[in-house]
Chains A and B, each alone.
Chain A
Amino acid sequence: MSGALEISTGEAVLFWVLAPLMVIAALGLLFARKAVHAAISVVFVMVALAFLYTALEAPFLGVAQVVVYTGAVMTLFVFVLMLVGVDASDSVVETLQGQRWIAVLFGVGLASVLIGVIATATLPDAQGLAEVNTDGNPVGVARLIFGQFVFAFELVGALLITAALGAITLTHRERLGRKRDQRATLDLRMRAYGAGEGSKVLTPLPAPGVYATHNAADAPALDAQGRPIEESVPRVIRIRGQELTPEQIDSRVADIAAGPFVATIDVPGNEPPGPAAPEPEQGEQR
């Protein structure tokens, strides 16, 4: 099949929808104050490029674009952004005098040169890839990569391994002190307890909450006698005086705290369905 390539209406519509959006998103990279917004707009440009590759009869590259750029590269960018602080916005101070105007001038100049060259060049009639894609696009690309370009392919593999090793070496950090493991933490804690510093109990502090019916941090746990345990409420809440008393929580908890643990459950209608019979026995055992 030879002759001029005919571009379908669908492709033209796709292009005219995507191209302005891509340019706007790319301008977002140029003007967004926050680095995360810039990253998001670049992700948009790259996904749109994947669409365009597929429209350009290169589905293999479209998939590779999504996998490599949006999947790996932009994830890495966002990861590093998180590492150095997301809220770090760019300063607007101009360090070099008039640099912004020179950059604008350069940008307009470069765009006009590039577009002028492209628009005035005499290009041959478009061939289209239908002929070379007869076995499928990935098959054709694979024939080229593993045939004519196999040496470059191997070089690229070596380059990738070198880059990965280099990244590991560059981000590697020497440990200055000894690693503080569980045993060391325990030793420190025991020493602090022996010296009368730190926590007054060796065991973990009791958790707040009354018999798992109230798990708010300001509701103290009750001990076996039904008395509230002071240490189960976080220190800050205790100091502020926001700790709840059993009366403030609800009447059942107040009953438990007030006297012997007897069942007040068998109020008719308030009883949960199911085996309610063993509960009084438990109460008697206590």
Chain B
Amino acid sequence: MTLVNYLVLSGLLFTIGAATVLVRRNAIIMFMGVELMLNASNLAFVAFGRLHGTLTGEVVAFFVMVVAAAEVVVGLAIIVSIYRARRSVSVDELSLLKN
């Protein structure tokens, strides 16, 4: 086994996250897809860091985690306020800006 296996796993998880964002209608599940993509990229960072023998990958993964936490906080707050106004979290029904 080589470290490439970790990268392949990371690629698979990233793909599944991206497909989730495309396919699902529920805004919360879409958000979880984004989280999965961020986690997959973190795994790639850590694996590459180990490959090259530096800790920079881990530090970057740490920053990604912090930014992801901030993004989740704001994103979920937006979802909650949209839910309060429109009683729905489905992205299909939110077409106020369409026309």
Contact = CB atoms under 8 A, between A and B. Distances in A.
Interface of A: 5, 7, 11-12, 15-16, 19, 22-23, 26-27, 29-30, 35, 38-39, 42, 45-46, 49, 52-53, 56-58, 60-61, 64-65, 68-69, 72-73, 76-77, 80-81, 83-84, 88, 90-91, 95, 99-100, 103-104, 106-107, 110-111, 114-115, 118-119, 123-124, 126-129, 131-132, 137, 140-141, 144-145, 149, 152-153, 156, 159-160, 162-164, 166-167, 170-171, 173
Contact of A84 (B33, B63, B79): B79
B61 A29 contact: no
A271 to B, nearest CB: 62
Interface in B53-99: 53-56, 58-59, 61-63, 65-74, 76-81, 83-84, 89-90, 92
Given A27-B16, A126-B2, A60 B58 contact: yes
B58 A30 contact: no
Contacts of A141: 55, 58-59, 62
Interface residues of B, number: 70
A149 B61 CA distance: 13
A114 B49 contact: no
Contacts of A131: 53
Contacts, number: 228
Interface string B10-43: 0111111111101111101101110110010011
Given A90-B26, A118-B4, A160-B66, A76 B80 contact: no
Nearest to B80: A171
Contact of A111 (B11, B42, B66, B90): B11
Contact of A61 (B5, B23, B58, B84): B58
Contact of B74 (A60, A99, A163): A163
B48 to A, nearest CB: 9
A127 B62 contact: no
Contact of A156 (B19, B35, B66): B66
Contact of A7 (B2, B14, B28, B66): B2
B18 to A, nearest CB: 6
Contact of B53 (A64, A110, A118, A129): A129
